[in-house]
């Protein structure tokens, strides 16, 4: 595990470099746990050896995941960063992600006015 975050209702989200969580195979790189079982967020991350480095919630309850991946939950153009909407249970891209042959985002933060900031190597 490289990153952990809890939502407002106490659900734990874990990101890292793993294939399964609690025996659930579709969790590759990111999973959520309710205290008794792990589950996937949509379908798995994809790309060459994908992982999640950072997790961050916004004030609306959306989860941002960053790391090294080409797509999240089958949604193309996520390229290292994606947003999970827990209400719709859907991943969405942020613009077209980050560029380069090895799309990776190492860290996430919101600045004083609420803009998402990221650190990419």
**Predicted model pTM:** 0.91
In tens, the pLDDT along 11-55 reads 999 999 998 999 988 889 999 999 999 999 988 888 888 899 999
Domains: count for the chain: 1
Read off the CATH number of the domain in which 100 is found: 2.130.10.10
Considering Cα of 58, then 63, then 69, then 72, what sign does the dihedral take?
negative
Residue 38 belongs to domain spanning: 3-119
CA distance 62 to 49: 25
Q: What Cα–Cα distance (Å) separates residue 39 from each residue in 1, 22, 31, 67, 105?
A: 15, 8, 6, 19, 24
Rg from Cα positions in the chain: 13
47-91 confidence digits (pLDDT tens):
888 899 999 999 999 999 999 988 888 888 788 899 999 999 999
Alpha helix stretches (DSSP H) within 1-121: none
Q: Is the pLDDT of residue 97 over 90?
A: no
């Amino acid at each position: 595990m490289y990153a952990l975050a809890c939502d407002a209702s106490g659900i734990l989200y874990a990101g890292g470099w793993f294939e399964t969580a609690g025996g659930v195979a579709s969790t590759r790189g990111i999973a959520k746990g309710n205290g008794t079982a792990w589950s996937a967020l949509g379908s798995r991350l994809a790309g060459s050896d994908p992982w999640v480095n950072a997790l961050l919630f916004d004030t609306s309850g959306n989860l941002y995941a960053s790391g090294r991946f080409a797509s999240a939950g089958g949604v193309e153009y996520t390229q290292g960063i994606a947003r999970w909407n827990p209400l719709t249970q859907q991943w969405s891209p942020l613009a077209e992600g980050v560029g380069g042959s090895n799309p990776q985002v190492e860290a996430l933060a919101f600045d004083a006015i609420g803009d998402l900031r990221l650190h990419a190597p």
